[in-house]
Every structure is written in structure tokens, then in C-alpha cells.
Amino acid sequence: MTSATLSPVRDGHRASPPPPRARRRLFLTPYLFVAPFYVVFAAFGLYPLVFAFQLSFTDWKGAGEAHFIGLGNYTYLLTSPEFWSSLGNSAVMWLLIVPVQIVGGLAVAVLLANARLRARGLFRVVFIAPFVTPLVAMAQVWIVVFDTDYGLVNSLLNLVGLPDVAWLTSTAWAKPTLALLFLWKTTGFAIIILLAGLQAVPADVYEAAALDGASRRRQFWSLTLPLVRRSIAFLIVVQTLAVFQMFAEPFVVTQGGPYGSTTTSGLFLYNHITSSDLGTGAANSFLLVLLVFALSLLSVRLLRSRDE
């Protein structure tokens, strides 16, 4: 096949190639259409990231000249008991939230996907409503409901003869109470993600398993869990990021107390900003990025199938 055969033909004659200027215009046109995205990303994404990384190696209070101190901010944080305490608080919150959310959300998602329930759409709206409700409003409700002296929860406990519980003012109960608020707020989102993963599973897979004599329990362990593994991995990554960034819940409900027991990593980072210690705050943020990245990578690798 010759080049003349490949060239477009018009009126019995081979069409001439476009001039160099037209070729350059055709080459640059797609890039001009996507250029606004890259400009916005560079201005509001890439530049702040690079600036924060440079700031993490300096001592800067938000005004005046920034003094380069090398790894001083990172050394200070890695040797700070408050930093490790905030990470420990976030780790405990993760243990109280993510496993419960995965197990409970998957159970509800399976029920909504398979059970013959009336008004399933209403149940879905009920579960997703807290997720779209403003967090500050829910936090204020939490303060009233779990108040030690006048809260609804303690009033119900008194009705059955149980003593009051210092839900928000004791180190033993403050973290579980905040974890319950986070669960109430975000479990609807988890259910939607897991329900989408379940609905993507072909129905003939379960039909074939049923014909082979597999019970419902066997189908769940051998088919449902492996086929929604990616949805579970995605949810773990997203919720790990959310838990270690948790700020509004402890800030509004407990202000990090009592005795720093609810000072999460996000709230600890905010304290550096309010004290104008921006260099240390930037270093703290990058340490959190590395930690969350490592935890997310570990979760994805543990949930990866053998064929992937």
C-alpha cells in the first residue's frame, strides 16, 4: 500500500496537507481547552502545596521574614508528647469508628439490597439524611443530648435506675461519644458506597452459586465479600483520611478535653495555626499526609485479591 493510497482524495486528486500554521493550530487546540483547569490547579493546588512544604522548614509566625531552620519543626514534632498523644487519640477513634462502620454498613447494605422491604427508598433517605446535615448543628444536638446534668441520655438512664454518666467530661467516655457522633454522621455515606458495590455484582453469579448448593452464608463469605473488596478498600481509605483530619467534632463538642483526651490530629494541627506557629503546622500537616498514605496503602494491600 503506497502513501498515495493512504492520502485523502478529493475530485480524483490527492488533497494537499494543511499548512504548518494550521497544523500547529490543530495540535494546540485541545490543550487550550484544558488549559483553564491546569491554571486553576497550579494557582490553588500546586502552589499552596509547594509553599507549605517550603514553610515546613522555616520558623514563621505569619508576618515578617521566615527563618530557615531545616528539620527543626519535624524534630520538635517527633519528640513532642502532645503530637504523639494526638496521634494516639486519632488511632483510638479510628478503631472505634472504621471497623464498626464497615461491619454495620455492610450489614445494612446487604439488607437493603437483598431483603424484600417495603419503602426501601425511604430507608435510604433516612440513612443518608445525617450525612447531608450540617455538622455543627448535629454537634450542638449532641451537646444537649449527652449533657451530664440535663441530657436526654442520662434522663433515660435514671428512669431505669442507672446513675448519670459524664459522657463529654470524662476521659473514659469522651472519645466513644465523639465516635458515636462521627458514626451517626457518616455511616449513611458508607452504606451508599457499599450498596453501590453490591448492586454492581451480577445476579447470575448468585444464581450459579445457588444451583451448586451454596447456602446464603457461603455465598456471603465466598462471593459478596470478595466482590465488594474494592468498595471496602475505598471506604477504609476515605474514612481513615476523615478520622485523622477530624476537627469540627472535638472543636465544637469537647474543645479537645477533658485533659486533651479528644485532641485529635486535626485539632492539634489547628492549635498551631491559632498560635501563629505556621512552620510547625505545615510540618505537622506533611507528617499526617505520610501517615495517612502509609495506612491507606497498607489497607489496600491487605484487601487486594491474589489476582490483582
Residue 2 lies in a domain: no
Q: Is the pTM of this model over 0.85?
A: no
Residue 58 lies in a domain: no
Residue 43 lies in a domain: no
Residue 159 lies in a domain: yes
Residue 115 lies in a domain: yes
Quote the domain boundaries for residue 247: 78-303
Residue 218 lies in a domain: yes
Express as a percent the part of the chain with pLDDT over 90: 24
CA 50 to CA 234: how far, in whole Å?
Answer: 27
Residue 35 lies in a domain: no
pLDDT of residue 4: 45
The per-residue pLDDT for range 247-269, each reduced to its tens digit, is: 989 999 998 888 889 999 989 98
Rg of the chain taking only CA atoms, in angstroms? 27
Residue 12 lies in a domain: no
pLDDT of residue 300: 77
Instruction: Spell out, as residue ranges, where the chain has pLDDT lower than 50.
Output: 1-7
pLDDT of residue 307: 54
Total domains in the chain come to: 1
CATH number at residue 189: 1.10.3720.10
pLDDT of residue 45: 85
